[in-house]
């Protein structure tokens, strides 16, 4: 397994170098200058192609769009070069972004560029035969035009397992008389033999994760609905579903209806925002996982969708061995016994050079290890390999999937792969339409939901390991302890305030969503701090609608008197609060707390207090809390002046004065007796 990873890494490095050199060569050439001068579409894109060919339908057709407008169409042409079959994964990766380093089987050097209305197009059709003795059936649908006799001979023995495979095809746009391409790309021809070996347990299972989010959601829903025979696992963003429903437009409603009508697909459980389970657990806020799932599920239900629990998909987070315990805890809170993660998160394992295509048990060291599969990162990278040519990207992905099937068609157990686009990919309807069309009815690729894939493909099949571990490394801290504590306190305060409010005001729901948004795995430390600050300001603005309007100075004219307390509320809902008075200068015969329901702008109450002493500026603390005491809403300090004369105090004062007078009289008389008389 380590050899396979090393080979892939070397291939990726070679691919990057080849792409850089190719780009530099084009930029330095006159043709490159023409490409930069063009202000419209890319110089050359793939409009469509035959997804696979067979002995009974051996015609491979490519339709190309030419965007080069600075040169006359007659001065342009397209060439196609067909190469020998791909032998391993490194050869496939190299061919995707550069000129294939394979032997040439056929060159089609001069495909004309023609004007088709306002567009420029080029079309090529090649008949593919396994050997020179084979012939193509006559008069079949999809056959190349009668005048086109271009034939590609694969030079292989039919039905023996050596013809069926993927073959790179380099497509280049050139100027007449100039061998330097204006533009080029590599697509693939997939040759299938229904009578040849297809694996002991049928075709390769393909678990496709289809994200539905953002402004592309209606187009994605349309593409999925147009190919409802292709099962996929839908990762529908709860916020996108809410936005579609909130638009109250025909397009938004229709998109939700299309998604709800995909009976063969499964809707994955999605949190309100993408989160890292291990990070939330490590930060001490594992309880937020359930809050995320509950809110996400609520919004999907409101949109008419019904997610299925038990499976957690996270191919964007990065996990290592130090995260094992926290990941296990997070999965338990999420109620997920199955996990799909990125293949780069796993330690190397396996004994063959084939693509790892079996489920396994992920050893997290706590005895509740989940069943798991990985999303193939090499295949996932093809979603973004050709951003300006979505049809080409989809065809390259189909070829990559077919290659995994053809790696070894004699394996005894079923094999399967999970394909999930990277988080940077923006869903594209043309890409999805091409991909789904290529999976529909494909003899060697069987689309399935992730749940079915986990049940149909045996763990540890084909001599692969039954248990795997996370890559070595310490625990990640995408959420700091300080941020975790802040989130925990904010949740406690929001829950306390919400429990004191009657009904479910939308503003409090919005505050809950705002707090959940601070937990997104896509936020860095600075972004999370800003998000938490925004929540604090919004929450303080809401609780600030409740204030104490009590006079700051109160005068007592008797030993016992009521203290008037006035609470103002501009909140558009009723709130239950508790007013509390505290002071070491006063006692409160009837208690120092008073529950109030603030259902009007002004609410007043009187709390009886008894002074322990008289004097000026005697303080009393007045606080306003939620009934559970978890949230301080308002606070003020009253100053009390007590002018009432205490009878006990007067009596003591008179008694002290009498004692002093008696002592003075006795002292005066004694001094007179002892004084000598005058002679």
Question: What per-residue confidence (pLDDT) applies to 197?
Answer: 60
pLDDT of 143 above 50: yes
Residue 178 or 663, more confident: 178
Same domain, residue pair 306 and 452: yes
CA distances for 572 relative to 502, 600, 601, angstroms:
10, 9, 9
User: Residue 200's pLDDT band (boundaries 50, 70, 90)?
Assistant: low
Helix (H) or strand (E) holding 669: helix 647-673
Question: Quick one: average pLDDT of 261-282?
Answer: 94
Q: Which of 150-164, 285-299, 635-649 is the least confident region?
A: 635-649
Question: What per-residue confidence (pLDDT) applies to 551?
Answer: 66
C-alpha of 8 from chain center:
27
Per the domain annotation, does 657 fall within a domain?
no
How far is it, in rounded angstroms, from Cα 132 to Cα 142? 21
pLDDT of 135 above 70: yes
Same domain, residue pair 507 and 391: no
Same domain, residue pair 98 and 43: yes
- Are 497 and 477 contacting, i.e. CB atoms less than 8 angstroms apart? no
DSSP label at residue 376: -
Residue 461 or 209, more confident: 209
pLDDT of 496 above 80: yes
C-alpha of 318 from chain center:
13
Same domain, residue pair 304 and 336: yes
How far is it, in rounded angstroms, from Cα 549 to Cα 429? 59
pLDDT in tens, 10-20: 344 343 334 33
Same domain, residue pair 282 and 211: yes
How far is it, in rounded angstroms, from Cα 553 to Cα 564? 11
pLDDT of 609 above 80: yes
List strand residue ranges (DSSP E) for 378-486, in order.
416-419, 445-448, 467-468
pLDDT of 667 above 80: no
How far is it, in rounded angstroms, from Cα 654 to Cα 176? 125
pLDDT of 37 above 80: no
Question: What per-residue confidence (pLDDT) applies to 264?
Answer: 87
Question: Quick one: average pLDDT of 364-390?
Answer: 91
pLDDT of 6 above 90: no
- Are 402 and 355 contacting, i.e. CB atoms less than 8 angstroms apart? no
Going by their DSSP bridges, the two strands 467-468 and 360-362 should be labelled as parallel
Structure tokens given for 548: 């104490």
Per the domain annotation, does 650 fall within a domain?
no
Count how many domains the chain has.
4
User: Residue 674's pLDDT band (boundaries 50, 70, 90)?
Assistant: low
How far is it, in rounded angstroms, from Cα 27 to Cα 35? 8
Which ranges constitute the DSSP H helices of 457-611? Answer: 481-500, 506-517, 525-543
For residue 70, give the CATH number of its domain.
2.70.50
Contacts of 330 (CB under 8 A, 6+ apart): 277, 278, 280, 281, 286, 289
Same domain, residue pair 182 and 214: no
How far is it, in rounded angstroms, from Cα 201 to Cα 462? 11
- Are 638 and 550 contacting, i.e. CB atoms less than 8 angstroms apart? yes
The range of the structural domain enclosing residue 632 comes to 546-644
Question: Quick one: average pLDDT of 628-656?
Answer: 73
User: Residue 662's pLDDT band (boundaries 50, 70, 90)?
Assistant: confident
pLDDT of 151 above 50: yes
Same domain, residue pair 333 and 425: yes
Structure tokens given for 525: 């430390």
User: Residue 258's pLDDT band (boundaries 50, 70, 90)?
Assistant: very high
Per the domain annotation, does 33 fall within a domain?
yes
Q: Which of 58-67, 160-169, 594-603, 655-664 is the least confident region?
A: 655-664
Could you tell me the maximum CA-CA distance found in the chain, to the nearest angstrom? 171
Which of 128, 163, 191 is at the close of a domain? 191
Tokens 């965007």 belong to 67
Same domain, residue pair 156 and 208: no
Question: What per-residue confidence (pLDDT) applies to 96?
Answer: 94
Q: List b or e across 64-89, with b for residues whose CB sees 16 or more CB atoms inside 10 angstroms.
A: bbbbbeebebeebbbbbbbbbbbebb
Which of 191, 220, 238 is at the close of a domain? 191
Residue 94 or 9, more confident: 94
Question: What per-residue confidence (pLDDT) applies to 5?
Answer: 40
pLDDT in tens, 299-350: 999 999 999 889 999 999 999 999 999 999 999 999 999 999 999 999 887 6
pLDDT of 651 above 80: no
Per the domain annotation, does 433 fall within a domain?
yes
The closest of 554, 574, 577 to 564, measured between CA atoms, is 554
Per the domain annotation, does 563 fall within a domain?
yes
Question: What per-residue confidence (pLDDT) applies to 352?
Answer: 67
User: Residue 673's pLDDT band (boundaries 50, 70, 90)?
Assistant: low
Per the domain annotation, does 211 fall within a domain?
yes
Average pLDDT, the chain: 86
Per the domain annotation, does 598 fall within a domain?
yes
User: Residue 598's pLDDT band (boundaries 50, 70, 90)?
Assistant: very high
pLDDT of 66 above 90: yes
Same domain, residue pair 264 and 158: no
pLDDT of 585 above 70: yes
Question: Quick one: average pLDDT of 519-535?
Answer: 93
Question: Quick one: average pLDDT of 549-567?
Answer: 79
Which of 523, 543, 563 is at the close of a domain? 543
* Phi, psi for 661 (deg, rounded to 5): -65, -45
Same domain, residue pair 409 and 296: yes
User: Residue 471's pLDDT band (boundaries 50, 70, 90)?
Assistant: very high
Per the domain annotation, does 474 fall within a domain?
no
pLDDT in tens, 215-240: 889 999 999 999 999 999 999 999 99
Give the dihedral sign, CA 382/388/389/390. Answer: positive
pLDDT of 467 above 90: yes
Q: Which of 263-267, 374-378, 451-455, 610-614 is the least confident region?
A: 610-614
Contacts of 383 (CB under 8 A, 6+ apart): 393, 397, 421, 422, 425, 431
For residue 414, give the CATH number of its domain.
3.20.110.20
Question: Quick one: average pLDDT of 80-94?
Answer: 94
The share of the chain scoring above pLDDT 70, in percent, equals 88
Question: Quick one: average pLDDT of 145-173?
Answer: 90
CA distances for 457 relative to 204, 206, 623, 638, angstroms:
10, 11, 63, 73
Same domain, residue pair 455 and 337: yes
pLDDT in tens, 340-368: 999 999 988 765 678 899 999 999 987 78
Same domain, residue pair 144 and 260: no
């Amino acid at each position: 397994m380590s050899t396979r990873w090393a080979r892939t890494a070397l291939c990726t490095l070679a691919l990057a170098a080849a792409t850089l050199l190719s780009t530099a060569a084009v930029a330095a050439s006159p043709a490159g200058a023409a490409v930069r001068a063009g202000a419209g579409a890319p110089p050359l894109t793939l409009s469509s192609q035959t997804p696979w060919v067979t002995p009974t339908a051996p015609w491979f057709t490519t339709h190309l769009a030419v965007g080069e407008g600075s040169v006359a169409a007659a001065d342009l042409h397209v060439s196609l070069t067909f190469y020998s079959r791909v032998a391993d994964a490194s050869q496939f990766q190299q061919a995707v972004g550069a000129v294939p380093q394979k032997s040439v089987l056929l060159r089609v050097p001069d495909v004309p560029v023609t004007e088709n209305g306002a567009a420029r197009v080029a079309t090529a059709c090649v008949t593919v035969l396994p050997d020179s003795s084979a012939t193509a059936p006559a008069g079949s649908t999809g056959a190349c035009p009668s005048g086109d006799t271009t034939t590609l001979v694969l030079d292989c023995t039919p039905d023996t397992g050596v013809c069926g495979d993927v073959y790179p095809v380099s497509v280049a746009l050139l100027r007449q008389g100039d061998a330097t391409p204006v533009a080029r790309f590599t697509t693939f021809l997939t040759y299938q033999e229904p009578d040849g070996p297809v694996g002991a347990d049928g075709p390769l299972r393909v678990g496709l994760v289809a994200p539905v989010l953002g402004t592309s959601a209606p187009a994605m829903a349309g593409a999925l609905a147009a190919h409802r025979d292709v099962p996929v696992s839908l990762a529908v963003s709860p916020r996108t579903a809410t936005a579609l429903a909130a638009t109250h437009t025909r397009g938004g409603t229709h998109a939700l209806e299309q998604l709800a009508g995909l009976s063969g697909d499964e809707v994955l459980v999605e949190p309100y925002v993408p989160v890292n389970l291990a990070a939330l657990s490590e930060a001490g806020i594992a309880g937020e996982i359930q809050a995320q799932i509950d809110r996400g599920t609520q919004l999907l239900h409101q949109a008419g969708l019904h997610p299925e629990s038990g499976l957690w998909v996270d191919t964007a987070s990065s996990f290592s061995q130090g995260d094992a315990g926290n990941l296990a805890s997070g999965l338990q809170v999420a109620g997920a016994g199955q996990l799909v993660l990125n293949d780069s998160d796993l330690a190397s394992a396996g004994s063959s050079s084939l693509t790892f295509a079996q489920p396994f048990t992920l050893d997290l060291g706590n005895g509740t290890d989940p069943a798991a599969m990985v999303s193939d990162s090499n295949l996932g990278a093809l979603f973004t390999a050709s951003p300006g040519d979505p049809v080409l990207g989809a065809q390259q992905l189909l070829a990559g999937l077919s290659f995994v099937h053809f790696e070894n068609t004699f394996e005894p157990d079923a094999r399967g792969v999970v394909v999930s686009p990277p988080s940077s990919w923006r869903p594209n309807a043309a890409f999805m339409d091409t991909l789904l069309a290529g999976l529909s009815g494909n003899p060697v690729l069987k689309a399935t939901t992730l749940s079915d894939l986990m049940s149909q493909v045996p763990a540890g099949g084909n001599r692969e390991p039954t248990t795997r571990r996370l890559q070595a490394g310490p625990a990640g801290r995408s959420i700091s302890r300080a941020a975790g504590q802040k989130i925990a306190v904010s949740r406690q305060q929001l829950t306390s305030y919400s429990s004191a409010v009657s009904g479910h005001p939308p503003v409090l729901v919005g505050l809950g969503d705002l707090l959940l948004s601070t937990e997104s795995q896509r936020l860095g430390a600075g972004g999370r701090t800003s998000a938490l600050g925004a929540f604090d300001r919004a929450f303080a603005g809401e609780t600030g609608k409740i204030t104490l309007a009590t006079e700051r100075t109160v005068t007592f004219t008797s030993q016992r008197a009521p203290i008037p307390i006035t609470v103002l509320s501009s909140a558009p809902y009723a709130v239950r609060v508790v007013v509390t008075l505290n002071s070491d200068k006063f006692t409160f015969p009837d208690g120092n707390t008073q529950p109030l329901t603030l259902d009007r702008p002004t609410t007043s109450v009187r709390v009886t207090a008894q002074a322990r002493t008289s004097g000026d500026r005697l303080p009393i603390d007045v606080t306003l809390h939620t009934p559970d005491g978890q949230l301080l809403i308002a606070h003020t300090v009253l100053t009390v002046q007590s002018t009432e004369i205490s009878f006990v105090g007067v009596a003591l004062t008179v008694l002290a004065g009498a004692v002093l007078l008696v002592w003075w009289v006795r002292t005066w008389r004694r001094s007179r007796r002892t004084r000598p008389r005058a002679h």
